[in-house]
Chain A
C-alpha cells in the first residue's frame, strides 16, 4: 500500500498555496507536513481526505488493504475540531462513530483505556478538559479501522504524558502497516518519518 501524490496543487479562496507537490508514503511510514502558518498544511490534509477539491495533480492510494474503495474511504481524519457532541457521554459519542464508520478490532472500552480515559467514559463530553477532549477524539481513530490517518495538529492541547501515549499509539498503527500524514510543528516522537516542508521556498 502506498500513498502517492503527483504534481499536487492546492488553493484556498483563490490563493494558490502550494503546487507541484510530489511525495510517496509507503505503508508503515509517516509523513510530517511542516511549515509556517498559512503554508497550506491543513489544506493539503483536507485535499488528501477528499474534503477539498485539488487545484491540479492527483493523490491516490495504491494497493489498498482492508477492502476500501478509495483514499477517502480508507482514511481517518482528525481535524482541529473534535467531532464530538458535548451533551452526549464520551462512550455514546464513540459508539456512534463506531457503528457509523464500522467497528474495528478494539472495543470502545479498550480504546478509551488506551488513551487514558478508561474510567470517565460515562461523563458527558462537554465536561472534559481540552486535553481529555483531544484524547477522546484520538480514541475515535482506534474504534474504527482505517489504514490511513490524516492528523491536523494532533497533539494540540495534549500534555507531555499524553503526547508520549499518543506517539506509542501512532507507532502501533505504523507497525501494523498503516500510513500517517500529520501536519504539525512539534516533533511527534516517531522513528520512521519523512518530512515535507511547505511554504519554505516562498
Chain B
C-alpha cells in the first residue's frame, strides 16, 4: 500500500515544472549529442547509398523527405496526447508540451512539403498537384498554423490551454486521412513502402540509411521539443515575475 502511494507521489512529481526543468537541464546535452551523432551517421550512410536506377540521384531527397513527413504526423499525435493530458488529467506540463510542439511540427510539415515539391518537380514534372496525400498534408500545415495563432491570440495560459486542446483533438481526424490517403484514393504519391504488411518494398541499401535518418530526426525533434518546453516554462515564469514586480511596486508607494 505504502509503495503505491509513493509511486503515485513520484508520478505526480513529474507534473512539477521545477522537476522537469532539473531533468531537462541534465538530459538535454546528452540528447543533443546523441542527435548529432545519429544524424551525422545517417547523412554519411545516405551519401554512400546507391542511386536509384530510375530516379538517379534525386532519390536521396527521400532520406530527408520521409523523416520530415513522419515527424509532421508524429508531432501532431504527441500534441493530441498532450491535449488529452490537458483535458482529462489536467497535467500542468501537457499544455506546455502542446504549445511548444506546434511550431516545431509546423516547420517539419513545411519542410516535408518543400522537399516533396523539390522531389516532385523532376519526377512528376510539376511542383504541386492537388491529390489526396499532398492536400491532406497541406491541410495539416494549415491546422498547425491555426493552433499557433490560437495559442498566441489568448493571453491567459489556462484559457488558451483548453481551447487549443479541444481544437487539437478535433483536428486529429486528419492524421489517419493522411496515413491512408494513398490507399483510399488513387494518387500520384506512391503508396506506403516502408511500413506495410508483408515487409518493406525498399531495397536494404536504401532502407538502412532511411531508418537511421528517421531515428536521427526523431531525436532532433525531442531535443527541440524539450528545449522549447523549457523556453515556454521560462517565459511563463518571466510573466509571473513581472506581475509580482507590478504588485510589489504598488505596495512600496503606498507605504
Contacts and interface: CB of A to CB of B under 8 A. Distances in A.
A117 B254 CA distance: 12
Q: Which of A116, A120, A123, A128 has the most CB of B within 10 A?
A: A120
B250 A129 contact: yes
B242 A123 contact: yes
A123 B246 contact: yes
A161 B253 contact: yes
Interface string A121-148: 0011001110110000000000000000
Contacts of B242: 123-124, 127
Contacts of A159: 254
A174 to B, nearest CB: 24
Nearest to A159: B254
The list of the 7 closest CB pairs from A to B, nearest first, reads A116-B253, A120-B249, A127-B246, A123-B242, A128-B246, A127-B242, A123-B246
Contact of A162 (B243, B245, B247, B253): B253
A69 interface: no
B160 to A, nearest CB: 16
B244 to A, nearest CB: 10
A119 interface: yes
Contacts of A120: 245-246, 249
B254 A161 contact: yes
A123 B246 CA distance: 8
B146 to A, nearest CB: 22
Given A123-B242, A124-B242, A131 B250 contact: yes
**Secondary structure class of chain A's binding surface, majority of residues:** loop
B247 A129 contact: yes
Interface in A31-63: none
19 contacts: A116-B253, A117-B249, A120-B245, A120-B246, A120-B249, A123-B242, A123-B246, A124-B242, A127-B242, A127-B243, A129-B247, A129-B250, A131-B250, A132-B246, A132-B249, A132-B250, A159-B254, A161-B253, A161-B254
Q: Which of B243, B245, B253 has the most CB of A within 10 A?
A: B253
Nearest to B254: A161
Contacts of B253: 116, 161-162
A128 B245 CA distance: 9
Nearest to A119: B249
A32 B151 CA distance: 48
Contacts of A161: 253-254
B235 to A, nearest CB: 13
Nearest to A160: B254
Interface in B227-255: 242-243, 245-247, 249-250, 253-254
A162 B249 CA distance: 13
A131 B254 CA distance: 11
Contacts of B245: 120, 123
A123 B242 CA distance: 7
Given A117-B249, A123-B242, A129-B247, 4 more contacts: A116-B253, A127-B243, A127-B246, A132-B250
